[in-house]
């Protein structure tokens, strides 16, 4: 399964790597609707039909097309290398209209020497790369323009399997395209696409060129950045989005510092066993070992502690804790909720050690 | 057409899934999650998800196409549905477990259990497994005869061995057959994304009732993946097969000794668009003895309406010989009759 996944290829290959594999990544939404409060809007002017149009009219201007050009080193069969001009296409999401910040995928802008952004109103702008993080496949661009529209951040922690979602992007470079579906799974990992994987899986149609585009919920908020698909190069109903809380943590670091510095807690962890989850009433990450001199040791954590909370959010398993720690910049402190001998306590750990570069 | 696992040589593969949802009466169709104020399928899925399992069969001798994404040789990965929690009975696709020397089932909560294969049926592509019935959740069975094209449906399974995945769509067609003449086919067709590994998984309605077992997808012979044309075995068919396998350990198919054809458009005015026209009655058959004759039109079998000749054959074939006679509703010369015909054993498919 692992090697069947790749990132969503951009329109034309920007060099080696992600685009080359057998499968591409993208996604789309299937349909549905909700009325009323936060449901599917009803268009009264057209006979009261349920439609996603009102959400899209509001949010579509926040999703942009991205064209990149750059130089890639191509290796010929005889071992010689050659510099080739390459171009690619992808998608991006404006998340801060005042400052002009655009989220996209790292693999969309990797190797790019020039990045152009086309807004939904047709304006084309040069973009600056603020920073990029390969491990999560998130990059942040900045454009200078008036009258930008941003997509507000949603809360991926509130999502449930079965919720309706909408993807907006630029598949195959054909122009802004909206697709719909549901959330197929949450917390999907083990794909070996990225170093940190906590994907939202969806059956919305995602295709090459959707990379970096928006996955929004029925309230029109951004919940993920569409990043990868399982499939032979086009949609088969299995798409993956980086949850927006991860994208946001990366953005916060690169905007402030220009890079991402991942912290280490210094523990070996595993999922709490199935029969234990029922007993303790919670999923979590079981600490198997605490390394000497680590942040965890200094905070007083010991083997067999179960971490169930991280800065107030529930921990769903070892991968979840690993991802959350990785989103914490070195020098910051975190509050961990820990079960020890059946009793809950909170400890503060100051992250001082930098994770090895991936 | 191939089973999701792989069935035939020709151009298709099987698997299916549904998505979709928009209903004119919003309130009635899609559940409202009041704490979040959104319409969502989540409540339906929270109830059904624990009943859907992943199935890994080892020692499988695969006779047909290799499907991209399935694990190593000698293993077949698919899905299954717990339909009887007290007995530990699981429905899956026959092609997932065919030839297996051992079958392992992983529940939604992570428990891994050995499963025993109670039996399987090639013609309908249904198999029944049994696991130790401790703390299981079953999904309630629905009534496929009430489905209509356009209804929203949800597929739950284990595509590519990724782990439980939910996809949604609508009913694209009902009673789909003619995909492979040798088999019992009256599929629910759906546009929900179904992929290799979804085989044996659930197709449920928006009330959370099991309406089908995802079995096949349309696609290229090697590496078929979801393209919006998938097929599920209706749950009433799966259940009839299960009942025989559980009670007897095998399947015996029934026959009446007639050949039948669909009504021609010219006959619609007289009979309506549904029914099967008797074209031939085998000498010495139970049908002959019961008085059926050529040009009779059969409208229902044991009270259930049939749409065409294939449905007549399929319905009768699911009746185990040796039991009660089947009651046919027949029109002859403009008058309605009922005829009771004992069922005899058909050659195995």
Mutate to test the interface with A, among B166, B169, B194, B221 (most CBs of A within 10 A): B166
ipTM of the complex: 0.80
C-alpha span between B178 and A207 (Å, rounded): 32
Three-state DSSP at A72 gives strand
Least Cα distance to B216 among B203, B207, B234, B229 occurs for B229
Question: Does B46 contact A at CB distance below 8 Å?
Answer: yes
CB contact under 8 A, A163 and B38: yes
Shortest Cα distance from A252 to chain B (angstroms)? 27
Tens-place pLDDT, residues B156-195: 999 999 999 999 999 999 988 878 756 888 999 999 999 9
C-alpha span between A180 and A205 (Å, rounded): 7
Report which secondary-structure segment, H or E, holds B312. helix B309-317
C-alpha span between B308 and B262 (Å, rounded): 5
Shortest Cα distance from A162 to chain B (angstroms)? 4
Note if A344 is an active site residue. no
Of B76, B165, B168, B199, which one is the catalytic site residue? B199
Name the pLDDT band for B279 (thresholds 50, 70, 90): very high
Tens-place pLDDT, residues A120-145: 999 999 999 999 999 999 999 999 99
Mean of all residue pLDDT scores within chain B: 85
Mutate to test the interface with B, among A21, A184, A284, A316 (most CBs of B within 10 A): A184
C-alpha span between B275 and A267 (Å, rounded): 70
Question: Does A134 contact B at CB distance below 8 Å?
Answer: no
Which of A34, A161, A236 comes nearest B166 by C-beta? A161
Global pTM reads: 0.84
Shortest Cα distance from B26 to chain A (angstroms)? 7
C-alpha span between A131 and A330 (Å, rounded): 17
Per-residue tokens: B68: 């991209």
Mutate to test the interface with B, among A22, A32, A192 (most CBs of B within 10 A): A32
Note if B199 is an active site residue. yes
Question: Does B198 contact A at CB distance below 8 Å?
Answer: no
Of B89, B94, B95, B184, which one is the catalytic site residue? B95
For residue B182, the model assigns a pLDDT of 63
Strand partners, B254: B345
CB contact under 8 A, B40 and A158: no
CB contact under 8 A, B225 and A1: no
Report which secondary-structure segment, H or E, holds B47. helix B42-48
Architecture of domain B1-248: Beta Barrel (2.40)
For residue B218, the model assigns a pLDDT of 86
For residue B198, the model assigns a pLDDT of 95
For residue A230, the chain B residues in CB contact (below 8 A) are: 69, 159-160, 162
Q: Where are the domains of chain B?
A: 1-248, 254-345
Burial of residue B304, with CB atoms counted within 10 A of its CB: 0-12 exposed, 13-18 middle, 19 or more buried = exposed
Answer whether A2-59+151-257 and A61-69+82-142 agree in fold.
Answer: yes
Residue B264 CA, distance from chain mean position: 28
Residues of chain A with pLDDT under 50: 1-6, 9-38
The DSSP call for residue B17 is B
Residue B328: pLDDT over 70: yes
Say which CATH superfamily domain A263-354 falls into.
Answer: PDZ domain (2.30.42.10)
Tally the C-alpha atoms within 13 A of residue A22's C-alpha that lie toward its C-beta. Answer: 11
For residue B37, the chain A residues in CB contact (below 8 A) are: 37-39
For residue B54, the model assigns a pLDDT of 96
C-alpha span between A40 and B100 (Å, rounded): 47
Determine the straight-line distance between the first and last CA of chain B, rounded to whole angstroms.
18
For residue A357, the model assigns a pLDDT of 61
Which of B30, B43, B161 comes nearest A34 by C-beta? B30
Cβ proximity of B13 and B95 under 8 Å: no
* Least confident interval from A331-335, B26-30, B244-248: B26-30
CB contact under 8 A, B225 and A158: no
Q: Check if CATH label 3.90.420.10 holds for domain A61-69+82-142.
A: no
Per-residue tokens: A241: 């989005």
Question: Does A187 contact B at CB distance below 8 Å?
Answer: no
Cβ proximity of B199 and B135 under 8 Å: no
CB within 8 Å of B269: residues ≥ 6 apart: none
Per-residue tokens: A11: 């329109």
Name the pLDDT band for B298 (thresholds 50, 70, 90): very high
For residue A201, the chain B residues in CB contact (below 8 A) are: 162, 165
Domain A2-59+151-257 has what CATH class?
mainly beta
CB contact under 8 A, B42 and A238: no
Residue B1: pLDDT over 80: no
Which fold is adopted by the domain B254-345?
A: Pdz3 Domain (2.30.42)
């Amino acid at each position: 399964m692992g090697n069947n996944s790749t990132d969503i290829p951009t329109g034309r290959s920007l060099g080696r790597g992600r685009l080359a594999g057998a499968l591409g990544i993208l996604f789309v939404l299937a349909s549905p609707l909700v009325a009323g409060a936060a449901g599917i809007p009803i268009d009264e002017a057209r006979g009261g039909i349920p439609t996603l149009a009102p959400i899209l009219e509001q949010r579509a201007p926040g999703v942009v097309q991205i064209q990149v050009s750059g130089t890639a080193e191509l290796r010929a069969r005889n071992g010689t290398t050659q510099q080739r001009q390459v171009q690619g296409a992808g998608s991006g999401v404006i998340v801060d209209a005042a400052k002009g910040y655009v989220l996209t995928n790292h693999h969309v802008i990797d190797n790019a020497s020039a990045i152009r952004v086309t807004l939904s109103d047709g304006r084309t702008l040069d973009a600056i790369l603020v920073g990029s993080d390969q491990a999560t496949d998130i990059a942040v661009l900045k454009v200078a323009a008036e009258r930008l529209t941003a997509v507000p951040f949603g809360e991926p922690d509130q999502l449930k399997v079965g919720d309706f979602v909408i993807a907006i992007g630029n598949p195959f470079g054909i122009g802004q395209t909206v697709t719909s579906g549901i959330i197929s799974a949450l917390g999907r990992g083990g794909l070996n696409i990225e170093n940190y994987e906590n994907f939202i899986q969806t059956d919305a149609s995602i295709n090459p060129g959707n990379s970096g585009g928006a996955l929004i919920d029925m309230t029109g908020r951004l919940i993920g950045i569409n990043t990868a698909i399982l499939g032979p190069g086009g949609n088969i109903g299995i798409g993956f989005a980086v949850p927006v809380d991860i994208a946001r943590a990366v953005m916060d670091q690169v905007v402030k510092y220009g890079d991402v510095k991942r912290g280490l807690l210094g523990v070996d962890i595993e999922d709490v066993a199935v029969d234990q989850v029922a007993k303790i009433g919670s999923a979590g990450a079981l600490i198997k070992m605490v390394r000497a001199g680590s942040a965890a040791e200094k905070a007083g954590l010991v083997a067999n502690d179960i971490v169930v909370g991280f800065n107030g959010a529930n921990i769903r398993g070892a991968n979840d804790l690993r991802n959350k720690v990785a989103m914490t910049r070195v020098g910051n402190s975190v509050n961990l909720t820990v079960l020890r001998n059946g009793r809950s306590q909170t400890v503060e750990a100051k992250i001082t050690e930098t994770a090895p570069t991936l | 057409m191939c089973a999701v696992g792989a069935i035939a040589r020709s151009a298709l593969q099987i698997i299916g899934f549904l998505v979709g949802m928009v209903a004119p009466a919003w309130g009635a169709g899609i559940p409202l999650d009041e704490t979040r104020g959104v319409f969502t399928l989540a409540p339906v899925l929270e109830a059904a998800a624990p009943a859907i399992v992943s199935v890994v069969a080892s020692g499988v001798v695969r006779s047909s196409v290799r499907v991209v994404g399935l694990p190593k040789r000698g293993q077949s990965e698919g899905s299954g549905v717990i339909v009887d929690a007290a007995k530990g009975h699981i429905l899956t696709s026959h092609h997932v477990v065919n030839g297996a020397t051992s079958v392992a089932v992983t529940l939604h909560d992570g428990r891994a259990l050995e499963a025993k294969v109670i039996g399987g049926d090639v013609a309908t592509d249904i198999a029944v497994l049994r696991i130790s019935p401790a703390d299981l959740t079953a999904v309630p069975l629905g009534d496929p005869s009430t489905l209509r094209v356009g209804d929203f449906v949800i597929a739950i399974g284990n595509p590519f061995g990724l782990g439980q995945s939910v996809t949604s769509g609508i009913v694209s067609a009902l009673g789909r057959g003619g995909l492979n003449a040798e088999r019992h086919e009256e599929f629910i067709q759906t546009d929900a994304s179904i992929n290799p590994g979804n085989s044996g998984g659930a197709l449920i309605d928006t009330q959370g009732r099991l309406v089908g077992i995802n079995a096949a997808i349309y696609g290229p012979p090697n590496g078929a993946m979801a393209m919006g044309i998938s097929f599920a075995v209706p749950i009433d068919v799966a259940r009839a097969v299960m009942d025989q396998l559980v009670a007897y350990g095998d399947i015996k198919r029934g026959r009446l000794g007639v050949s039948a054809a669909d009504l021609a458009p010219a006959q619609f005015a007289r009979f309506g668009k549904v029914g099967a026209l008797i074209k031939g009655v085998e000498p010495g058959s139970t049908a002959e003895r019961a008085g059926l004759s050529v040009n009779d039109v059969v409208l229902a079998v044991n009270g259930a309406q049939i749409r065409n000749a294939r449905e007549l054959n399929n319905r009768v074939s699911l009746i185990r010989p040796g039991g009660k006679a089947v009651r046919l509703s027949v029109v002859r010369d403009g008058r309605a009759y009922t005829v009771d015909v004992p069922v005899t054993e058909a050659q195995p498919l």
